Amino acid sequence: MEASSLPPCSITFLLLLLLTITVTVNADSLSRRALLANGLAATPPMGWNSWNHFNCFIDEKMIKETADALISTGLANLGYKFVNIDDCWAEISRDDKGNLVPKNSTFPSGLKALADYVHSKGLKLGIYSDAGYFTCSNKMPGSLGHEEQDAKTFASWGIDYLKYDNCNNDGSKPLVRYPVMTRALMNAGRPIFFSLCEWGDMHPALWGASVGNSWRTTNDIADNWDSMISRADQNEVYADYARPGGWNDPDMLEIGNGGMTKDEYIVHFSLWAVSKAPLLIGCDVRNVSKETMEIISNKEVIDVNQDKLGVQGKKVRMEGDLEVWAGALSGYRVAVVLLNRGAVRRVMTARWDDIGIPPSSTVIARDLWQHKTLKQRFVDILTATVDSHACKMYILKPIS
């Protein structure tokens, strides 16, 4: 019987059945995380990356000193475990066997020795490559066409993390090129965190869960307010796709590099924390200021980022320049950020019906930047005065 001859109720039934099958398949595809059985991303990664501060000016002495500084400052004890080398670490050409070779002038001891040093400190070493013929700096070969070989090389060196960029490729889509490295890493013989850095090109949040442990949702960040806040905006759109095993990545932290005020850097850290973004320090931790340390070592804010529930916070209210961000935490708690993007100080309010707390609940509020539990008990709303380009961050816990 032709579809046109079916009674209306049958056509409706078939459409509903098709919709049900489509939703089920999509939900199942999100729940299946082939690579993520590696167990490396139960919470967002924390560590340091060389690019934002040092660009191509890197060497093994600086990497070792950075590892030492993560220990001596106490940052490692707070969870900053990855020491990630970005672009420019390799020679411009592969060796006669087609292997990547660390640049002798800057990494004379080799990457295996450097990994051993970092591991001896209880830390992990990350490396950089590209799903193209050359990396973004054009100063070293990419891994396109060498995925199996490079993955095994990284594993033999003891690498723990791979940031995989998207420059100088063959014109094929990231959806074609990135899974090749996924399979290579799965066969490399060593668990390696896989960070997809394709800049949100093909909306990787929609497919990254079966390919990597994190995926960039934005272009590169810069050390200024407009860049930082726009990356948070772009990343927030994909909040529902983040969960333990795979995370949205709005790029690395700029805190401590000097381009923003202290309040703006506090906003930066607060939004990255509530967004469950990777917390990868981008400044020189060997010479970190007291002000920067106060921000990146705030354990209460870090704990929001590392909460085991793994729910990415999102904007629940947007009234002009005033935004309320909120995300569920374990233990029936809620993390809330009151963000004032405007030019003047404003009074702001978080409402229970916006942030997911049952109406009429009495709530205890913990101020995460003042490090104090507020004496007042709150019912239905919490109101605070927030400075320009600043925020307040709380954990709210219902008690009745």
- Which residues are designated catalytic? 165, 220
Sequence-ordered list of residues with C-beta below 8 angstroms from that of 107, at least 6 positions apart, any chain: 59, 60, 89, 114
Closest CA to 267 of 218, 224, 204: 224
CA dist., res. 47 & res. 327, Å (int): 23
CA dist., res. 115 & res. 64, Å (int): 10
Largest CA-CA distance found in the chain, in angstroms, rounded: 77
CA dist., res. 279 & res. 302, Å (int): 9
CA dist., res. 132 & res. 117, Å (int): 30
* Cβ–Cβ < 8 Å for 73, 293: yes
Place of tokens 């090389």: 153
Supply 375's token pair: 């004496």
Which H/E stretch holds residue 271? helix 262-274
Which H/E stretch holds residue 386? strand 381-386
Supply 284's token pair: 């020189």
Sequence-ordered list of residues with C-beta below 8 angstroms from that of 27, at least 6 positions apart, any chain: none
